[in-house]
Amino acid sequence: MTESPLPRFHLAVPVDDLDAARHFYGELIGCAQGRSSDRWIDWNLHGHQFVTHLAPGRRERVHNPVDGHDVPVPHFGLILTIPEFHKLADRFREAGTAFVIEPYLRFEGQPGEQWTMFLLDPAGNALEFKAFADDSQVFAV
């Protein structure tokens, strides 16, 4: 048995179309698919267990202002390297993905400087992908 050097998170989110989730998470983001049924799919999200559960219906949208943008809440995502961030942003653009917040450099020249982008999956779940100029600044104050 092997153990991860860092704790991994488990997150389950509702989706209204498993085929659309399969395309978005599997093909567009590039997550490897794990176990599945006709009601859910496990994904390997960079070593984390991410599950899409079939649950039709929309939730109320809430936003909080951050750095001059309306950030959707709740949201989840990954912290990537800067090259991985730009490669993923290019894949989203090539696929015609509509961004909630276009990729941009946030907090430029300040502690926690980071590239960030927000988008919705096909079920309306908000995702944020980010990349820090200095990874030691992830929890900077």
The tens digit of pLDDT for each residue in 65-97 reads 888 899 998 999 999 999 999 999 999 999 999
Which class is 68-140 in CATH? alpha beta
For residue 2, is pLDDT > 70?
no
In single-letter form, the type of residue at position 17 comes to D
- In 16-98, which ranges are E strands? 32-36, 40-45, 48-54, 62-66, 69-73, 75-79
Whole-model pTM?
A: 0.87
Boundaries of every domain in the chain:
8-56, 68-140
Question: CA distances (Å), 37 to each of 31, 61, 88, 120, in order?
Answer: 17, 28, 28, 23
Q: 140 or 50: whose pLDDT is higher?
A: 50
The CATH architecture assigned to 8-56 reads: Roll (3.10)
- Count CA atoms within 13 Å of residue 129 on its CB side: 23
